[in-house]
Structure 1
Amino acid sequence: MDFLHALITAPVSLLVLFILSKLIGNKQMANLNLFDYINGITIGSIAAEMATNGFDSFFECLIALIIYAAVVILLSYLSQKSIALRRFFTGKTIVLYDKGKIYKKNLMTAKIDMNEFLSMLRNKGYFCLEDIETAYLEQNGQLSVLVKSNKSPVTPFDMKIRVNRTRPEVVVISDGKVFEKNLKSTGNNTDWLNRQLKIKGQKQKDIFLAVCDGDNNLKIYEISDKRDTNDPFE
């Protein structure tokens, strides 16, 4: 009976959890703030209990899960309408460093010591405080850094150089299958694709991945069935 119970309740709890997560939003899968983190743990805990406990508590857990998700959606809606509620549930941005000054009390509020702050800066690629104009701790715990103007990388705009607009690569073939809608979105058709494949000496059915870049070039990536056991960092 325990096996039968798990066989029935586990897929149901997973389905309910998936549906409710979709209703709450993909924010659960992105950078989490404290409120999102608590929501994720609680909903997951209820779903696990629903899958592992007996049939008697299954529907109780199901109702609790639905009610909790409804409350989360309601609070999320109210937070969008009220700045005070949004700051209460998700917190607010904290200034840790600005114009050569380190805000000690703000570090204490963020529960971050000086060594941890410097480590977070190094992880962002900044090894010298003098290069930084401002550093903020965001609601999700991530550090945002504004570098000084004279220390920021030179851009084509700074050099008054005109460059072509960059566009994302579009997948046109995957596992030997042509994605015609993607191909059409690049302004091309199957005739163009067949010509490109002929030029490159490739067959559609043998291609694992082919993309069309922003300059309308077809790029083909090979796949290897061999296992590479070399460790380049050993």
Structure 2
Amino acid sequence: MNENIYTNDWTRPFYGMVRVLETYEITEFPLRIKPVDIYFHFYSGTKLASLKALQNVYDVTLKQPVFPVYTSDFIQKVLDARHASVAMQEGQWQIRTGRSLREFRLPVGEIPDLTHSSGVVGYLSVPGGTYVHLGDDQASVSLLPLNHPADPLPYVSAATAYITHFKRQGRGIRFDARGYYQPYVLLSHADHACGIKVDGREVQSTEDGKGRLKVSFPPSVGEQGPVHDIEVHCHD
């Protein structure tokens, strides 16, 4: 919804847009059902109360681990979702999406088996399930119970960037990444003994407080901005 709704057809309260933060919260937990959509009109800048409310919405939103995208990006994801297919073949899930759709959600208690899956960049388990990240428009996915001792291969648990051309190189990984706003990737099962290169240059990573390495890189300007080559090499 936009500020016209939160302000009762632009009558008052003119700071009503700030309540969109409640909407974001209840559509994120306990299960994510909608993206964050900051939708407003130019007249939000005509009153101090509405302008401050909008600034507050942006400040609070951008402090969260969000991945800003263009509306045209999101539209393409929706179209790809309408044509996505899921099938079981020889004990593996066969996922076919599209050029823009790169994620699906598993039920609570399951994770992808990275050793025996292909096309899987990584995953992130949350209370509502496990979000599986794909590196292409198709993948073959084997599953494991959440508490199963998995092979500690490095993987991308979260990112604020599009990831393409993902491939494993022994116990390392390499992929292209592109994001619009403070882009980064979070790597699980990686530590400071892993060497990390961005566009061929060694870079320093930081820990995010949850045992993951955070690798940042320059943002892309526009929907067709340059991509960055990310290489992670971990010793046995």
Structure-1-length-normalised TM-score? 0.22
- The structure that is strand-richer by fraction is 2
Q: Larger Rg: 1 or 2? A: 1
In terms of fraction of residues, the more helix-rich structure is: 1
